[in-house]
Structure formats: structure tokens, C-alpha cells
Structure 1
Amino acid sequence: MHANQLTVSPRTVRELVDDQFPQWRDLPIKSVDSPGTVNAIFRVGDRLAARFPLEPADVESTRRWLSTEADAARELSGRTRFPTPEPVALGAPGAGYPLPWSVQTWLPGVVATDDDPGESEAFAHDLAEFIGGVRGIDTRGRTFRGGGRGGDLRAHDTWMETCFERSERFLDVPLLRRMWTVLRDLPRGPVPDLMTHGDLIPGNVLVSRGRLAGVLDVGGLRAADPALDLVGAWHLLEDRPRRALRADLGCDDLEWERGKAWAFQQSMGAVWYYHESNPPMSRMGTRTLARLAAA
């Protein structure tokens, strides 16, 4: 999926686990077929998941990043009624793998990529409850500090131009350019930054019988534009459940439109970038853009 992507094999994971965490030597190692784009994931026994960053990076910066992810996971744990992964351990480079890696608790369930909850109003109510619970976490004075989504929409203009240029084979780019021209100028509004999950895409949401069973990839928890988590309304829901989520959260028109803008920005990058390497991510982007265009 990425230039110079690292390769992680079950044999490498076995060596790393046995060497660094001998208490788990008797637990089986199994690769997880995941639509994720950041980590290779392996189950360690029934209750643990080992996560290995896929993109080359500096060892110390990766260690700091993983430590920050673990702090975020601890902060979110237990703050809603929905399960989220909890940090267990931090591994070191070894066995030919050049970076630190992490171990979290494993959550049961099926990702929404494989069990589409889009027509379920019950799921929409659950998702709204999760978003509201995350927003209720004390920011402790934190605000958005730049980098990624969650601040000024216009800061993404250069990236969006790249996306438009690379998407001409796949999408109606003239239409999408017109949409972005409107979305990028939406004002921030008076609402302060609140805590957000930041990446409520189908691959990060677990589903069971049409209900929300858990939320993954929680290391991006941070203060940002509260409209950021509304991307989940467009990535995950069809029209009627989407309206139920909006009603539960009490979104005004500006917040709702900014949520559309963040979903648009994320989707434009997904369609072309992952077209060959991660088709489920690319299809997610295409479907979300269609929902946005029809709204």
C-alpha cells in the first residue's frame, strides 16, 4: 500500500514474541486479514493483538507515536459502554523488523467492511452515543495542533488538488471540484474543540447483529473540530439512519456540513491511493462520495 512498505511475517512475529514476551510463548500466532492501512496485525492467542507499523520511520519517533497511542487508548477505555482496545505492551525492534511495535487487547466482532450496518437505525443510535461519549471527555485544555484532519479545511487544498488530478480515471472530478469549492469555505463556527476519535471508517468499527460492538484504532483520540467524527455518518450510514444520528447529536447545519467536508476530504484520498493496494478502502471512498453528492 505504501512506498518501501515493511514486510512482517508470522515467523518474525513468533520470534519477537518469544524473545521479548516469553510468557506468551505457548500462544498461537495468526495473521489478521485487515483493511487497515497503518499496521500489520497478528492475533496472539485469543485475547491479544500485536500491531506492526507498515511504513519505514525513525525508531525513536515510532516509539513516541506508539506511546502516545497507548496513552490515548487508556484515556478512552471505559469512557463509553462500547469496548475499545486497551494497551498491553510495547515491543522493541528485532528479528529483522526495524521498529517498535505494540500489543493490545483483542476485541471480538466483525468489522463494518464485512457486515454493513448502513440500514440499521439501532446502529446509528449506538454510533451517536459513542461520538457523544468521546466528546464528553475532558480536553484538559488541549486544542487541535495541526497535522491531519480536524482544523482548517482550506489547509488541505494542496492535497485535494493532488487527489483531483489522480482521480480523473475513477470519479466525476469536475463535480467534485465544485463540491470542494463550497465545502472548503465553511467557517469553523463558535463551538470549541472537543475530543474526537478521528477515524470512524468501516474498518475501525465492529458490528454484531446490526449494533455497534466496539471501536478500533483509538490511538488518534485528540481534541479537534467536533464535526470530524461525523465522517462516520457518511462512511457508515444510509439516509434514514444518518438522519437519526444527526437528531441524537443535535447537529446544526454548519456542524453537519463540516462533517460532510471532512468525509469528502478523507474519501478523495482513499479512492485513487488505495485503488490497487487496498480495494475495500477505495470502494469506501467511492461510496461515501456518492452519498455526499446525493445529499
Structure 2
Amino acid sequence: MSPRKIRAGQADIDTPLVRSLVAAQFPRWAALPLEPVDSSGLANAIYRLGTDLSVRLPLRPSITDEVQREQEKLATLAPFLPVAIPSVEAIGSPTDAFPGKWSVHRWLAGTHPSPEALVDPRGLATDLAAFVDAFRRIDLTDRPPAYPGERRTRAPMVSMDSSTRTAIGELDGLIDTRAALASWEESLAAPYDGREVWVHSDLTPSNLLVSAEGRLTAVLDFETCGVGDPACDLFPVWNLLPANLRDEFCAALDVDDATWLRGRGRALSQALIVLADHKDTNPAISNYARRVIREVLAAPR
């Protein structure tokens, strides 16, 4: 199984390639079983290596030090957080066959939660709130921005406005574009006092792992984490938690009305853009985006 080609410049990645890379650069792991992990992710191809490791190869290879920075960031953040997060065990070098850096991670146990089949919704909501709260309390000298492309102003969501409106226009006939635009404009107008905290910024179900009992065991993909608007970590309100637990989740994090609106807008914007970009190429992530849009538009305004 190879990753479906969804973007220009996406690398050709398959099991023989990954096996050859591991064997050449990390011969101590060459004899371990290797199998692709079925994923609708947009950034990496993932392969399980033995029982304890995984291999991650960027779909768009790069020779920058991004993987090295990820390794350092994860090691720094791990002691502050209440659940497991990835750890980079080794970094692979570019080759003629794969012209970018890649990495070997420690395998984390668990399954991705499904909004339709949560075993312990209240327990998961409690765990997610505890994770977000712990993240907000991190105090480190290095404070990279969660979204480097956003201007650090009292209205950071303004930088998202053009792409969000474009996506709404491209989805005419697929969603209620009038309701989507009204919801977006209401969120865009929500005030922001400029307070910045550490945020994960992409708490989607595909970046969470839960136990058989339904409790949070690990959080994945810290590529865009950093300091930013606290609203960045309210995604679970619309992409995972049942409506009757949303108030509890927000109360545990002391979310005010303006932050709630900004969080709703961020979730809507992400879902609109994902659906517009991948409605014809990635059914799994498109269905996820449609669900988020429905939940946001059904929420009281």
C-alpha cells in the first residue's frame, strides 16, 4: 500500500523503499517486520517497524533541519505533559531514492477515537481538558509561534479570512454556504486580548490515541505546536466531544465567550479548507471535515 497522491511534489513511497532505507541506515532494525499504517494524514507516510517503532517519511521530502527540531521539541515538552507523546529515536538521511530527511519514532499504543463510538466520553473530555491545561502552563524560554504565518496582532484570525472565504465559495452546493459565512464572520469579529499560551493547535481525532477503556493515552503530531491564542486548542469541542459535554470541557479550561467563538471559527476554517482541497481525493478526511462543519453550524449562535 502506497500513500494516495493528493498533492503535486508528493514522493513515491512504498514498503520496499522504506525497507531499503532502514536496512542501509539502521541495520540493527533491518530484520524487524515492516508494514504500512493506513492513514488519511496529509503530511507523512507511516510504517510500523516491529512492535515498538514506526517510520515516518514526509510526503513532500525536505532536507531542512525540521526533523531535528521536532526531536528537540518533543524531548523538551514531554516532562510537562500528563500523557505520552512521540519520541524520535533516530533521524534518517536523504538518499537518491528518497531526497529528504525521515525519522524513526517510538510506537505509541492505542487507537484513534471515533466521535460515533466513544467508550467513556466524559472521561475522555476530562483527560483532554487536563492535557490542554498542562500545555497552557508550560513555561519555557523558547516560545515559537504556533502558526508562524499568523501575524502577532490583536486579530490573528484575519490572516485566515481570505482562504476561509475562498473555501466557502468553492463549496457552494455542498454545504450551507450562507450559514458558514455568517458563522465565520461572527467568530472573526470576536475580540482577542493578545494572551498567548502553549497550544498543540491540531487536536483532531487522528492525533489522539485512547485505551480500550476510552481514556486518553497519547497525543501525536506536534509539528505546529507553540505559543498562540488559547482558542487554538478547542478543536475537540466540535470534532470529537458530544454536545452535552462541551460546556464541561470549556468550563474546566475557563473558556470565555470570545475564546469559544474564536475556537469555533478556527475549527470551521480548518474543516472548510480541508473539504475544499480534498473532497475529490481523500474520502476519509473529507468525511471528517463535513462532520465538523455540521457540528459547528448546528451550534447555537
TM-score by length of 2: 0.90
What is the letter of the counterpart of residue 174 of structure 2? F
Question: Is the alpha carbon distance of 1:145 and 1:195 closer, same or farther for their aligned partners in structure 2, counting shifts above 3 Å?
Answer: closer
CA deviations 1:246-274 (Å, max 9, x no partner) are 12111111111111111111111111212
Residue 164 of structure 1 corresponds to: 168
How far, CA to CA, are the matches of 1:156 and 1:86 in structure 2? 31
Following TM superposition, by how much is the alpha carbon of 1:78 offset from its aligned partner in structure 2, in angstroms? 3.1
Following TM superposition, by how much is the alpha carbon of 1:7 offset from its aligned partner in structure 2, in angstroms? 1.7
Matched, 1:206 2:209: yes
How far, CA to CA, are the matches of 2:197 and 2:13 in structure 1? 36
Question: Is the alpha carbon distance of 1:74 and 1:145 closer, same or farther for their aligned partners in structure 2, counting shifts above 3 Å?
Answer: closer
Contact kept in structure 2, 1:72 and 1:219, CA below 8 Å:
no
Residue 108 of structure 1 corresponds to: 109
Paired residue secondary structure (2:11): coil
Residue 19 of structure 1 corresponds to: 24
Q: 2:47 aligns with which of 29, 42, 45?
A: 42
Following TM superposition, by how much is the alpha carbon of 1:187 offset from its aligned partner in structure 2, in angstroms? 1.9
Provide structure 1 residue ranges, at least 5 long, that are not aligned to the other structure: none
Question: Is the alpha carbon distance of 1:153 and 1:92 closer, same or farther for their aligned partners in structure 2, counting shifts above 3 Å?
Answer: same
How far, CA to CA, are the matches of 2:146 and 2:223 in structure 1? 16
C-alpha RMSD of the superposition: 2.1
Q: 1:277 aligns with which of 268, 278, 281?
A: 281
How far, CA to CA, are the matches of 1:256 and 1:38 in structure 2? 28
Work out the percentage of aligned pairs sharing the same amino acid. Answer: 32
Question: Is the alpha carbon distance of 1:233 and 1:56 closer, same or farther for their aligned partners in structure 2, counting shifts above 3 Å?
Answer: same
Q: 1:290 aligns with which of 272, 278, 294?
A: 294
Paired residue secondary structure (2:209): strand
Question: Is the alpha carbon distance of 1:145 and 1:46 closer, same or farther for their aligned partners in structure 2, counting shifts above 3 Å?
Answer: closer
CA deviations 1:120-145 (Å, max 9, x no partner) are 11110010001111111114262637
Provide structure 2 residue ranges, at least 5 long, that are not aligned to the other structure: 1-5
What is the letter of the counterpart of residue 110 of structure 2? G
Following TM superposition, by how much is the alpha carbon of 1:287 offset from its aligned partner in structure 2, in angstroms? 1.1
Question: Is the alpha carbon distance of 1:178 and 1:265 closer, same or farther for their aligned partners in structure 2, counting shifts above 3 Å?
Answer: same
| Count of aligned residue pairs for this structure pair | 290
TM-score by length of 1: 0.91
Contact kept in structure 1, 2:147 and 2:228, CA below 8 Å:
no
What is the letter of the counterpart of residue 197 of structure 1? H
How far, CA to CA, are the matches of 2:70 and 2:144 in structure 1? 17
Matched, 1:10 2:15: yes
What is the letter of the counterpart of residue 166 of structure 2? T
CA deviations 1:222-243 (Å, max 9, x no partner) are 1111110111221111111222
How far, CA to CA, are the matches of 2:109 and 2:125 in structure 1? 20
Contact kept in structure 2, 1:72 and 1:221, CA below 8 Å:
no
What is the letter of the counterpart of residue 50 of structure 1? V
Paired residue secondary structure (2:81): coil
What is the letter of the counterpart of residue 216 of structure 2? L
Matched, 1:195 2:179: no
Residue 250 of structure 1 corresponds to: 254
Following TM superposition, by how much is the alpha carbon of 1:19 offset from its aligned partner in structure 2, in angstroms? 0.5
